[in-house]
Amino acid sequence: MLANRRKDTSPELAVRRRIHAAGLRYRVDFPADAADRRRRADIVFTRVKVVVFIDGCFWHGCPQHFIAPKSNADYWGPKIARNIERDRTSTARLSDAGWRVLRFWEHEDPEDVATRIIDAVRPRNRILPPDVSHRR
C-alpha cells in the first residue's frame, strides 16, 4: 500500500501537463472543503471554483474496470464501498458550497479530460486576457 501514490499519479500528470500548456494555473492536492481539510482534490481552480478529481479505477470502484479482489474480500469490499460513499459526499458538499465538481476516471483519455476541464474553467462568453507572450 505504501507504493500507491496519493498525488502525482500518471493520469493526473498527463492531464495537468495539458492544462498547464493551455495557460491555466491551478492548485494541486488542495483541500477545497474548508470543513474537512483531509479531503483533497487533485486539481483546483480557486478563482472560478472548479474542483477536479481523477479517480483510480480500483480505489474508487470504476463500474467499467473494477474487479473485486478474491483474497481478503471481507476487507476490500467495505473499503471500496466507503471510498465510493466518501466520493459522493465530497461531491455533494462541494457542490452545496458553490464549487463545480468534475470527476474523471484514470482510464479516460487525458486529452479529452483536459479539454473538458479547460471548457469548464474558461467559459466561452468570458473575455480572456490578451496574449502577453510577446512581452519581455
Do 39 and 51 meet the contact criterion of CB atoms below 8 Å apart?
A: no
Percent of all residues in the chain with a pLDDT value above 70, rounded to a whole number: 86
Cα 50 to chain center, whole Å?
10
Could you report the per-residue pLDDT of 58-68, keeping only the tens digit for each?
A: 888 898 888 88
pLDDT at 125 over 80: no
The larger pLDDT score, comparing residue 76 to residue 6, is at 76
Angstrom CA distances, 48 to 41, 45, 95, stand at 15, 6, 13
pLDDT at 115 over 60: yes
pLDDT recorded at residue 70: 83
pLDDT recorded at residue 134: 46
Question: Is the C-alpha dihedral spanning 6, 100, 38, 58 positive or negative?
Answer: negative
Q: What are the residue boundaries of the structural domains of the chain, listed by start?
A: 10-121
The larger pLDDT score, comparing residue 128 to residue 90, is at 90
- Contacts of residue 73, defined as CB under 8 A and 6 or more positions apart, other chains included, come to none
Could you identify the residue written with the cell 473494477? 66
Thinking of the domain 10-121, which architecture would CATH place it in?
3-Layer(aba) Sandwich (3.40)
Question: Is the C-alpha dihedral spanning 6, 1, 39, 68 positive or negative?
Answer: positive
Q: Can you tell me the distance from the alpha carbon of 8 to that of 28, in angstroms, rounded to the nearest whole number?
A: 9
Q: Report pTM.
A: 0.82
